Structure 1
Amino acid sequence: MSDFYYSDRNDPPTPQEQETITPEAWGALVSLVDQALDNGSLARAFPLRDCHNHHKAGDGPITGVDRPKLFRAVRGEIPRLPLVPDSHKAYRLDADQVPDTSTALDLIEFIGPHIHQPDGEDRSCYWDGMIDVHYTFAEFIPQDPDDLFFDEQPRLAPGQEEYRQAVERIFRRQGLAFTLDRQMKVSRRGPYEARAQLSKFRPQTGDQALDELFTLATTRFLSPDLQERIWALEKLWDAYEWTMTLHPEGKGKKDSAPKLLRQAAGGSEELFQLLDTEFLALNKIGNGFRIRHFGRFKSHELPSSEFVDYLFTRMLAALAFVLRSSGRMAT
């Protein structure tokens, strides 16, 4: 909830621009995972069965989380995650050693689908006042894909929405430019200047393959991984080249592009000249940097993540204007 704390309700929101996991955010994420370990929310996926009143090992009620099994899975799937030995003959997360951002986000995505909060706890005394805790879990049937038409949001196991909101709260209050959706997938919120454009970008060009290419580019641009964003930039440049051939009276790109820009300009010569200048500049950038063409002496490396964001945002804004002004954008 955005009004969880007093400051959420009364202070200006913290800008979510930071794209690197902070030590404070990592410590909060570790605490969130530790809480899920302690309250049995990971016990259904990694069950420990060591009830002292049950004589057959591994065949009794669930008494907790099998931490060695869980952290073997974690180490296998997220090898760069910092772990330290603990008293459970397994490992625990190291709150003081902050991993790279991709690794921290991988942990969020690993834990989320395994969350299933117990619906009850039974306590039994087995010897000299010692207590066993037995967890019980309500039956949960994941949403059938065939039923998604009738349900706008996928069903979540008990505790998953609380986990998602807790992660979202950490992102928001730490100013991190990420979000966790109901599929338990982390995505970038994107730079501020691109967010409104991305939320409204629904091309309807008349060419389904081109529309799908735009969707692929804008979706992958929200990846936390820089290489994914560079790939998205390449796809957006491909979509630009394709868009410039859309005018029905055009004979190839060189003939179609000015006709398309004049259509978008709506009869204004000044606006046509501005659009022509902008797309010539963008074309020069595409040729000058290693976006579409590769060669040792022909192009330059993209210098930074911020530069990738700048180019993507600039190109998207120009294309959105042309598509919308020429009647090729869904309303």
Structure 2
Amino acid sequence: MSTYFTDREYGVRPATIDSINERLWGGLFSLIQTRIGDGSFGLRFPEQCPDGNGPCGCDVQAFSRVLSAEVPWIEWPFSVNEVPDTPVILDLLEFCAGAVGEPIQGAYHSYFGHHHLSWDRDAGLVRFVADVNLLFRRNAVAYELTSTGQARRLVPQPISDALGWAMFQTGDMETDRLLEAARQRFLSPKPDDRQDALEKLWDAFERLKTLEPGANKRAQADALLDRVAAPGSGFREALGREAAELTSIGNSFRIRHSETTQEALTSLDQVDYLFTRMFAFVRVILKGTGRGG
């Protein structure tokens, strides 16, 4: 964890920024270049001593060729002045995390002026993850690398807790599948996954309306809400208004369908707001009807 003065005195900045800017890219660029230079990525891409005495560094050509195949949107060589798209940078960091190890110097080879190397995988990964996450925290970016080197998005703690502890036991396998897929995709750092999470959550909401007995969908939806709050109560009326409003939002915006009459969402903030609003409503329904939550 950072021990910088501003963190100690004022607290860590809230992680609210969704994109990696030129300044942060410059720091990440330097972390990666340093590890190429000190041989850390030789764990996966070892450069062999010309005398055949074992690895002595990182084979940069092998590193770049495999990187270009596994992350085809990245430009090699990197330029500190050209910032890749944020999802591409996160793919790059995962690639690097999968290749990194702490280089351990062995015998010195005086003729070529290098040491032969071995690698401590665990120590190298821990240090790389810590260095990347420090830069993310100091720049208030809402991403982190996990201990296994996977990138994930950070969401505000109350939302994270609600998502992490929610149970989906609706009695309908497809509804449970949609809710679980929505949860996992919402935490993804990729914008397309978050849009997909919103769609799946809205699909789950529409299926929830049909889980109670009734002559038609409207009667089934009313029966569902009647189980959450007493019919005629103020809260039951509020639930009815919210259900109607959420249904209208789903029909008006490009969430589940793509008709030309539907308005597209124009920012990830809008996606996050609608997901959080719908998830709060769905969770109340699940808890109120004994279906998890």
1:225 aligns with 2:190: yes
Structure 1 distance, partners of 2:80, 2:25, is: 7
Whether the 8 Å contact between 1:116 and 1:157 is mirrored in structure 2 is yes
Whether the 8 Å contact between 2:178 and 2:200 is mirrored in structure 1 is yes
Structure 2 distance, partners of 1:24, 1:196, is: 31
Which of 226, 243, 246 lines up with 1:262 in the alignment? 226
Structure 2 distance, partners of 1:256, 1:304, is: 34
Instruction: Please list, as runs of the form range in 1=range in 2, the aligned pairs for 1:126-205 lying within 5 A after superposition.
Output: 126=111, 131-137=113-119, 157-190=122-155, 194-205=159-170
Instruction: Please list, as runs of the form range in 1=range in 2, the aligned pairs for 1:1-331 lying within 5 A after superposition.
Output: 1=1, 3-51=2-50, 54=51, 59-83=52-76, 91=77, 93-126=78-111, 131-137=113-119, 157-190=122-155, 194-247=159-212, 249-266=213-230, 269-297=233-261, 299-329=262-292
Opposite residue 292 of structure 2, the aligned amino acid is: M
Whether the 8 Å contact between 1:82 and 1:97 is mirrored in structure 2 is no
Structure 2 distance, partners of 1:232, 1:137, is: 39
Aligned residue for 1:42, secondary structure, equals helix
Whether the 8 Å contact between 2:198 and 2:255 is mirrored in structure 1 is yes
Aligned residue for 1:159, secondary structure, equals helix
Structure 2 distance, partners of 1:182, 1:204, is: 30
- Higher alpha-carbon deviation: 299-308 or 171-180: 299-308
Whether the 8 Å contact between 1:193 and 1:313 is mirrored in structure 2 is no
Whether the 8 Å contact between 2:68 and 2:75 is mirrored in structure 1 is no
Aligned residue for 2:140, secondary structure, equals coil
Aligned-residue sequence identity (percent) comes to 33
Q: CA deviation at 1:35?
A: 2.4
In structure 1, stretches of 5+ residues that fail to align are 84-90, 139-155
In structure 2, stretches of 5+ residues that fail to align are none
Q: CA deviation at 1:16?
A: 0.4
Q: Report which of the two has the higher share of helix.
A: 2
**CA-to-partner distance for each residue in 1:17-74, whole Å, 9 max, x for gaps?**
10110222111111211222223211121111134xx2xxxx4311111111211222
Structure 1 distance, partners of 2:147, 2:119, is: 21
Aligned residue for 1:158, secondary structure, equals helix
Pairs aligned (count): 293
**Structure 2 residue aligned with 1:142:** none
Opposite residue 106 of structure 1, the aligned amino acid is: D
